[in-house]
Amino acid sequence: MEWFNDFWSTYSTLVFSVGVHALLALSIWLTLSCGLLSLANAAFMGIGAYVSALLTLQLGWSFPAVLLAGGLAPALVALIIGAPVLRLSGVYLAMATLAFGEVVRITVLNLEITGGPEGLNGIPLLTEGWHIALILALTLYGLARLRRSKVGRAFEAIKEDEVAARLMGIDVDRYKLLAFVLGAVIAGVAGALNAHFTFFISPREYGFENAVDIITMAVLGGTANLIGPVLGASIITLLPELLRSLHDFRSFVNGAVLVLVVLFLPKGIWDPRRFRGWLQRVKGGRA
């Protein structure tokens, strides 16, 4: 157990980060699975982080209640902006959610209660490993169930062809809103968990770069199923650590990996369709 304690004291933050990033990647996976290219999830994460941290610091709420509020607050915001924003599609939606993200970031930067650019300090370290593990497991289970239900099929149908989906009797606007809001809940809870193990949060953690990072994790890993985003989140979180020896050039490798994956693995690293293709070729060879 000695080695484990050593390992844990050095790397627990990193392991926690993998878990939180996996949640974020899953949150964007959900919106992408409905064909929505949203860059708002970093902002939703930020709202979750700030609301939960403030509830802990100012009102002393219990941790479960704080987590719940961290999920519900961004959901409420998503519900309000969802109806008008989701009328847009493609790059316009991406740009609108990007602008929304900037509004949130700059607002947080300027409010008294959020501590302005210095952020919030001294957030109690309440998050434990099993919290993240449990919530990640619940999220994975819930999303897996969703995929196999009429809701998951409706999302997929909307992603592929909105008009055809409508004509199958699917209320496209409602389902888009559902994907958007559920994505906000997951991102918000991830933010709340994150705030309670990093001790400190500031507006710069929830900007454009972070929104892009979140999307990158999902696309890198692959969005065909739930394994992809988790894999992508792990890679993006661990890669900089593994490349520590490269110093200044380590993010160069990060960028290069991104470009190479996009070029040569169009569906991300985890692509069941490619695997199935291999399998069929093996079978076909035998038949």
Partner 1 sequence: MSDPTLLSIRNVGKHFGGLHVLQDVSFEVPAGSIYGLIGPNGAGKTTVFNLVTGLLEPSNGTIEFMGNSLVGLPPQRITHRGIARTFQNIRIFKEMSLLENVMVGMHDHLNYSPAAIFFNTGACRSAEKRARERAFELLSWVGLEHKSDMLADNLSYGDQRKLEFARALATEPKLLLLDEPVAGMNPSEKTILMEEIRNIRDRGYGVFMIEHDMRFVMGLCDRIAVLNFGRIIAEGTPDEVRNNPDVIEAYLGKEDEA
Partner 2 sequence: MLEQQLLNALTLGSVYALFALGFTLVFGVLAVINLSHGAVFMVGSYAALALVTHFDAPLWLAILGAMLISGTIGLLVDVLILKPLRARNAPHLIPMIATIGVGIMLTSAAQGMFGAEVLRFPEETLPAGEFIVGNVHVRALELAIVAIAFILMAVLFTLIKRTQLGRALRAIAESPKAAWLLGINVEGLFHVTSFVAAALGGVAGVLIGLDFNAITPQMGQPILHKGIAVIILGGMGDIRGALIGGLFLGFAEVISKAYLSSQMGDAVAFGLLFLILLVRPSGLFGRKLERKA
Which residues of this chain interact with partner 1, rule CB under 8 A?
Answer: 142, 145-146, 148-151, 153-154, 156-157, 160-161, 163-172, 273
Number of residues near partner 2 (by CB under 8 A): 41
CB of 219 vs partner 1, minimal distance in Å:
16
258 binds partner 2 (CB under 8 A): yes
For partner 2, give the closer residue by CB, 31 or 127.
31
Tokens of 122: 């001294």
Measuring CA to CA, how many Å separate 196 from each of 32, 122, 252, 265? Answer: 28, 9, 31, 36
Which class for 90: exposed (0-12), middle (13-18), buried (19 or more C-beta within 10 A)?
exposed
CB of 145 vs partner 1, minimal distance in Å:
5
* 255 φ/ψ angles, rounded to the nearest 5 degrees: -65, -40
Residue type at 165 in one-letter notation:
A
Residue of 153, 166, 250, 274 that binds partner 2 (CB under 8 A)? 250
CB of 253 vs partner 2, minimal distance in Å:
8
Residues 6 or more apart from 185 whose CB is under 8 A from it?
27, 71, 72, 74, 75
Residue of 25, 98, 170, 182 that binds partner 2 (CB under 8 A)? 98
For partner 2, give the closer residue by CB, 69 or 93.
93
* 86 φ/ψ angles, rounded to the nearest 5 degrees: -75, -5
41 binds partner 2 (CB under 8 A): no
Tokens of 162: 């909105």
Residues 6 or more apart from 34 whose CB is under 8 A from it?
155, 158, 159, 175, 176, 178, 179, 180
Binding characters for partner 2, 229-248, by CB under 8 A (x = yes): ------------------xx
For partner 2, give the closer residue by CB, 68 or 231.
231
92 binds partner 2 (CB under 8 A): yes
252 binds partner 2 (CB under 8 A): yes
CA 53, CA 47: separation in Å to the nearest integer? 10
CA 231, CA 46: separation in Å to the nearest integer? 23
Pick the piece of the chain touching partner 2 (CB under 8 A) from 11-19, 121-129, 193-201, 206-214.
206-214
> Residue 100 binds which one of partner 2, partner 1, none, with CB within 5 to 8 A depending on kind?
partner 2
Tokens of 160: 């592929």
Residues 6 or more apart from 95 whose CB is under 8 A from it?
none
> Residue 1 binds which one of partner 2, partner 1, none, with CB within 5 to 8 A depending on kind?
none
For partner 2, give the closer residue by CB, 182 or 236.
236
What kind and span of H or E run contains 91? helix 90-110
Binding characters for partner 2, 55-84, by CB under 8 A (x = yes): -----------------------------x
Q: Which residues bind partner 2 (CB under 8 A)?
A: 37, 84-85, 87-88, 90-92, 94-96, 98-100, 102-103, 106-107, 109-110, 208-209, 212, 215-216, 219, 247-252, 254-259, 262-263, 266
